[in-house]
Amino acid sequence: MPIDLNALSAKELDTLIERAKHRKTVLKKRKPIAAIRKRIVDFATAEGYSIADLFGGKGSAAAKSPRTAKKATAAKGRKLGKVPPKYRNPAKASETWTGRGKQPRWLAELVKKGKKPEDFLIRK
């Protein structure tokens, strides 16, 4: 979210500058990430654990960033089995829908016209 400096008053600009300077000093005091990561790995190893044991995932990928480990597992998703179709388009029998995910266009149009999705259930 960019800040429109032209819209700020002199007092607001001074406040922004002070806050930026404070943030900069806080960041300068922090140790580099690589140094902290090395200390954590060394400590875990000394205690008999691997980073994968502590944080999950494979090897150093999980050790580098827990965020990337989360993204990797979330991207895989869960495997869902095949589901038989529950709804059929009366105008075109080859168009079916399982009831999962977004409604297909043909069903959405019919629902918009006042029909109910239950009207298109496949009876067994």
Average pLDDT of the segment spanning 100-114: 93
Tokens of 106: 């043909």
If DSSP codes are grouped into helix, strand and coil, which group holds residue 96? strand
What is the H or E stretch that residue 88 is in? strand 87-88
Q: Reply yes or no on whether the pLDDT at 99 is more than 60.
A: yes
- Mean pLDDT across 25-46: 88
State the pLDDT at residue 107.
93
Poorest-pLDDT segment among 39-48, 57-66, 76-85, 92-101: 57-66
The pLDDT-based confidence of 75 (bands split at 50, 70, 90) is: low
Residues in the chain: 124
Record the tokens describing residue 12, joined without a space: 């607001």
- Distance CA(53)–CA(75), nearest Å, equals 22
Q: What is the pLDDT of residue 62?
A: 43
Structure tokens at 25: 């000093």
The domain locations on the chain are: 7-76, 87-120
Q: What is the pLDDT of residue 78?
A: 76
DSSP characters for 57-87? Answer: SSHHHHHH-HHHHHHHHHHH----------E
Whether this prediction's pTM lies above 0.75 is answered by: no
Q: What is the pLDDT of residue 124?
A: 72
Q: What distance in Å separates the CA atoms of residue 95 and residue 31, rounded to the nearest whole number?
A: 60
What pLDDT shows up at residue 63? 44
